[in-house]
Amino acid sequence: MKLRSKISGLLGILVLFMATVFYLISHVFIIPLFSEYVRAAEHGEAEQWARSLAYYYTSHGNSWDGVGQFAEGVLMQSDIAHPNNYVEKVAVYTPEGKPITSVVREGDHSEHMDSDDAELIDANGMVADIWVGNKPVGQVRVVDAGADSLQDVQMRVLRLMDMATLGGGLAAAVFALLLGFVFASRLTKPLQSLVQGIARIGRGESGVRVVIASHDEIGHVAEQLNYMAEKLEQLEAARKRLVADVAHELRTPLTVMEGQLELIQQGVIQPSDQTLLPILDEVMRLSRLVDDLHQLNLADGGVLKLNCTEADLVAILRRIMDNFLYEAAEEQVRLRLTTSANELVTYMDASRITQVFVNLLGNALRHCPPGGAVDVQVLETPQNIVCIVTDDGPGIPSGDLPHIFDRFYRGDESRSRESGGMGLGLAIAREFVQAHGGTLLAANHPSRGAQFTMTLPKQLRSKVEG
């Protein structure tokens, strides 16, 4: 069932439910109210007769003699004063319930019967005690035909209410169905656009965007769908770029090895250390590439294992910089280390952090001109250890800076693999730092070259072990 049909049906059912509730309320509450009104009217009539008869009793020496004529006269006067008087029968009894007199309306006149000839009238009449002071002197029972008229009015009102409820409920239900259909159509129209957009994305189409026609929940869903489509396109582009980069990185060493092996096979060159060395270099390059991709895959899956121990970061940096001294001397670049303390111990994977600094220092030396310097500054804060690597190179072009940590990204496309690497070093370095709960950021120094800032938390044992 379509959503518009569900909404229309729900509104129709709601209207019918409200009509049914109104019908039940009218019958449950109005009938007792009418009955209470009828009883109140009868009781008021009986009380009025009781007061008149009490006056008669006291004014005739506390005697009921001639009360029948009095009652008949009161009834006639009431007919004259109130032409629509509905009192049909009045009977007077002693306090013990013995009949004294009764007055019965017969057409346009009335008759009374006294004493034992007084008939017992309709037991449905309303009874009221006749009091003189604090003493009951009799009872009066009044049968009012107006009660029957009020009951007839009650039934007519209920029938009219039932007809109005039924007619109004049906009309409201039809109107609700039409209104629900229109409302549901306006509601489902943007949903249909969303469904079509999702279907196109599912088919692999690119550039799919849905129109955001409102700022409600549906508009928010459309906005999120467009954001998801954009992210999917970025992921697909990254996937294609990754496949192309990996294919490129594999093609060159495989071509070198294929050429060397063909020359050996054809007898052009003889197998020797000198002829096999290029093949070994390319095999080692492929091995590093596979290992780097494996490390990145572990980091992506959140399963990169760290072998953390307490280690002195300053000592690690000094050892790494000593290893780079020969290369720095050849490049005529000065290496300088500045620390806020002679020893900074933290809980880390020394092997992973060593790989991070080897990558950062290697990049800095590669881009630093002769006569320049590479500075490593280590600072300590209450919560972190901050390491800053700054060189005197040309810096990172502004267009390359947002992508500097992307995999296989080399800002200068003209650089060879030997000078520019495979474009995985910085991506791996950042993953290793993030695995330690730290950050690795790239920027340009205001007056020098590139600047990389690594931040490591000082207390990592509980986080790593937990």
Give the pLDDT confidence of 155-168 residue by residue, as tens digits.
777 777 778 777 77
**Could you tell me if 53 and 72 are in contact, meaning their C-beta atoms sit under 8 angstroms apart?**
no
- Rounded to an integer, the average pLDDT of 21-40 is 72
Q: What are the C-alpha distances in Å from 36 to residues 43, 58, 274?
A: 10, 33, 120
Q: Enumerate residues 6+ apart whose C-beta is below 8 A from 109.
A: 76
Dist. CA 404–CA 452, nearest whole Å: 11
Say what the pTM is. Answer: 0.51
Q: Find the helix packing angle between 273-300 and 425-435, rounded to 10°.
A: 40
Q: Give the pLDDT band (50/70/90) at residue 86.
A: low
CA–CA separation, 98 and 139 (whole Å): 9
pLDDT of residue 123: 55
Contact call for residues 417 and 282 (beta carbons, < 8 A): no
Specify the CATH class of 217-300 in words.
Answer: mainly alpha
Taking the CA atoms of 320, 323, 329 and 331 in sequence, report the sign of the dihedral they define.
negative
What's the rounded Cα separation, in Å, for the pair 330 and 256? Answer: 28
Write out pLDDT tens, residues 132-141.
Answer: 888 998 998 8
Instruction: Give CA–CA dist 237/240, Å, rounded.
Output: 5
Q: Which residues pair with 454 in a beta bridge?
A: 387, 440
Tell how strand 345-348 and strand 334-339 pair up.
unpaired
Four-residue CA torsion sign, 88, 94, 95, 96: negative
Which helix (DSSP H) or strand (DSSP E) does residue 103 occupy? strand 99-106
Residue 115 falls in which region: left (phi positive, over 0), alpha (psi -120 to 50) or beta: left
In the numeric block, the tokens 């080897």 are attached to 358
Q: How far apart are CA 184 and CA 199, in angstroms?
A: 22
Among 285, 311, 325, 266, residue whose Cα is nearest residue 422: 285
Return the SS3 of 119.
Answer: coil
Model pLDDT, residue 4: 63
Note the pLDDT tens digit of each residue in 58-70: 988 888 888 888 8
Burial (Cβ within 10 Å: 0-12, 13-18, ≥19) of residue 406: middle
Q: What are phi and psi of 349, to 5 degrees?
A: -90, 105
Q: Which residues contact 396 (CB under 8 A, 6 or more apart)?
A: 404, 411, 442, 444, 450
Superfamily name with CATH number, domain 309-465: Histidine kinase-like ATPase, C-terminal domain (3.30.565.10)
CA distance 148 to 268: 130
Count of Cβ atoms closer than 10 Å to residue 400 Cβ: 15
Please give the pLDDT value at position 67. 84
User: Which band of pLDDT confidence, cut at 50, 70 and 90, is reported for residue 334?
Assistant: very high
Measured distance CA(212)–CA(421) in Å, rounded:
45
Average pLDDT, the chain: 79
For the chain, what are the domain ranges?
A: 3-150, 217-300, 309-465
Residue 412 has pLDDT above 60, yes or no: no
How confident is the model over 241-278, as pLDDT tens digits? 777 767 766 776 788 788 888 888 888 888 888 878 87
Q: Are 15 and 183 in contact (CB under 8 A)?
A: no
For residues 373 and 333, is the Cβ–Cβ distance under 8 A?
Answer: yes
Residue 154 has pLDDT above 70, yes or no: no
First to last CA, the chain: 51
Of all residues in the chain, what percent are helix, strand and coil, respectively (each to 5)?
Answer: 60, 20, 25
Question: Per residue in 322-341, is it b (16+ CB within 10 Å) or e — as a string?
Answer: eebeeebeebebebeeebee
% of the chain exceeding 70 in pLDDT: 82
- Domain 309-465 in the same topology as domain 217-300: no
Evaluate whether the domain defined by 3-150 bears CATH number 3.30.450.
yes
Distances in Å between the Cα of 393 and the Cα atoms of 330, 439, 457 are 16, 23, 29
Distance (Å, rounded) from C-alpha 371 to C-alpha 45? 124
User: Which pLDDT score is estimated for 94?
Assistant: 87
The strand pairing partners of 132, in sequence order, are 135
For residues 47 and 337, what is the distance between their CA atoms, to the nearest angstrom?
Answer: 114
For residue 84, the model assigns a pLDDT of 54
